[in-house]
Amino acid sequence: MKFIKLAILASGTGSNAANILSYLKNSESVSVGLIATNNSNAGVLEYAKAYNVPTLILESARFKKGDAYIPELEKFDYLILAGFLWKIPAKLVQAFSERIINIHPSLLPKYGGNGMYGHFVHEAVIANKESESGITIHLVDEVYDNGKHLFQAKCLVNEADTPESLAQKIHQLEHANFPEVILEYILSRN
């Protein structure tokens, strides 16, 4: 079987990226060859250093209006968005058709779209007194949070929950499922 190379794109703390790196550390068929971020202060860069993974700092104009770093990214088989906060431009979506996977911290289509990321999602769920929330893992198309769903998992939300306590529940679901959903999808296509 072909050896599969992943690039992770992340903007923040990087707990999902770290979880994927840990999950794949002994894999003989899939590896993470790059961590790219738009934030030179992102915590994810510390995990890249710890796992000795090359990094790439994305510059806005080149990513959004230039070549979208396709020369650097096209050597990878899949792009994994793990808390990446910029829209993937159409030319990169087209270059990686059905090969970009994103994790979103809500039960899409609820609480998705522009402005719906990180704590903003949890704040909206709590403000609306939802009884449940969860995660969605989906393919990425040219629109925010619109691609084909690969997986969803739910958690209960109770009156005592805060955006912070809900975020913890969501992170537990993400860490328990994202690596396995990624592997299941890419191995089903190779």
Ligand X SMILES: NCC(=O)N[C@@H]1O[C@H](COP(=O)([O-])[O-])[C@@H](O)[C@H]1O
Q: Which residues contact 148 (CB under 8 A, 6 or more apart)?
A: 138, 139
Return all residues near 95 (Cβ < 8 A) that are at least 6 apart.
68, 70, 73, 74
15 binding ligand X? (CB under 6 A): yes
The one among 85, 95, 153, 155 contacting ligand LMY7XDAE by CB under 6 A: 85
Q: Is 17 in the site for ligand LMY7XDAE (CB under 6 A)?
A: no
- CA pair distance 88, 151, nearest whole angstrom: 21
- Positions in 135-174 near ligand LMY7XDAE (CB under 6 A): 140, 142, 144-145, 147
Using only C-alpha atoms, the chain has a radius of gyration, in whole angstroms, of: 16
Shortest distance (Å) from residue 1 CB to ligand X: 28
What is the spatial distance between Cα 75 and Cα 83, in angstroms, rounded to a whole number? 22
> Does 104 engage in binding with ligand X (CB under 6 A)?
yes
Sheet containing 30-37, strands listed edge to edge, beginning at the edge strand earlier in sequence: 55-57, 30-37, 4-9, 78-81, 100-104, 132-139, 149-156
- Minimum CB separation of residue 83 from ligand X in Å reads 3
Listed ranges 7-15, 71-79, 126-134, 152-160: which one lies at the site for ligand X (CB under 6 A)? 7-15
Residue 8: CB atoms within 10 Å: 29
Q: Which does 82 bind (CB under 5 to 8 A by kind): ligand LMY7XDAE, ligand X, none?
A: ligand X
Active site residue 104: yes
Sign of the dihedral through C-alpha 28, 88, 10, 132:
negative
Closer of 1 and 61 to ligand LMY7XDAE (Cβ) = 61
Size of the site for ligand X (CB under 6 A): 18
Amino acid at 116: M
Determine the residue with CB nearest ligand X: 83
Shortest gap between Cβ of 52 and ligand LMY7XDAE (angstroms)?
26
Instruction: For tokens 């792009």, name the residue.
Output: 79
Of residues 43, 101, 99, the one with CA closest to residue 70: 99
Task: Please give the residue ranges that form the binding site for ligand LMY7XDAE (CB under 6 A).
Answer: 81, 84-88, 93, 102, 104, 114-117, 140, 142, 144-145, 147
Give catalytic residue positions: 104
